[in-house]
Amino acid sequence: MVALSFAVCLGLMPKTNFRKIATRRIGREFYHHLQIDTSLLEFIGEIGLLLWRAILNPLRIRFKALLTTIKEVGFDALPIIGLLSFLTGIVLAYQGAVQLQRFGANIFIVDLVSLSLLRELSPLLTAIIVAGRSGSAFTAQIGTMKVTEEIDALRTMGIAPLEQLVIPKLLALIIALPLLTIFADILGILGGMLMAYIELGVGASAFVDRLSEAVSLSSFLTGLAKAPVFAAVIAIVGCFQGFQVTGSAESVGRQTTVSVVQSIFMVIVIDAIFSVIYSLLRI
């Protein structure tokens, strides 16, 4: 579109031809995205059916692949998630301390750090990290298998690729992401506790006492409830984009990029929807 506009500006192409080409291009792009959206809905429907069958008959689940994936997306992600959550808690406490110190409300740093992390930041940051780390890995793995025709080999042997490849990844992420979120909550609060002591002189005992008053079970659960939804979105988008690979290494890289961007975008949109719902329910 930019090249066409440039050509029109230079007088190399009549405006009527430009309008026709632009209209056709817009139509093709719209039709292409409509096809992708329809395919995604079909993919979600098939995954939902397979997941229901797996729940009714747990023996259909590949537990070895499930445990391996939990290790890869959960245990192996602990260092990066712990570090970023700890630093996020430090930054929150530092920025809040500057303002609270002016009003002599030092103890309320506990409310600021704990509620921000538990309700919003920990689930969101954890999901974004997992989308960039594990969602892209799902796309690359399935895309590579499609390039090397391993997907076709599975179908030839009568094995459903979705049941073999997607269900273990989906279940593993649904199990691992809430646990990673809890881990991020703990490390973030520890970071905030450290900075509160350094900047405001709020000791660990005073911090913990105020924490028990500031944080309720509902505050903890409202943040944790987002994690399984984020996990399902990341796994479905990552696996779907893997199956969209057309058969070249360039396609694998392109779909991996699309997977990360779409996953993060959808996670943020869903987080905003949760915020609206919680506001309406006054949670």
Q: How far apart are CA 161 and CA 276, in angstroms?
A: 37
Per DSSP, the residues of 138-200 read: HHHHHHHHHHTTHHHHHHHTT--HIIIIIHHHHHHHHHHHHHHHHHHHHHHHHHHHHHHHHHH
Residue carrying structure tokens 């900047």: 199
- Go through the chain and tell me how many residues it has: 283
Predicted local confidence at residue 274, as pLDDT: 92
102-122 pLDDT per residue, tens: 777 778 888 888 889 998 899
Enter the pTM of the model: 0.83
Place of tokens 């520890």: 190
Helices (H), the chain: 2-9, 15-56, 63-73, 78-100, 109-116, 122-130, 136-147, 150-156, 161, 167-200, 204-214, 217-224, 226-243, 249-281
In the chain, which residues have pLDDT < 50? 2-4, 6-10, 12-13, 30-31
27-64 residue pLDDT tens:
565 445 555 567 778 888 888 888 888 888 888 888 88
Report domain extents, the chain: 1-60, 62-281
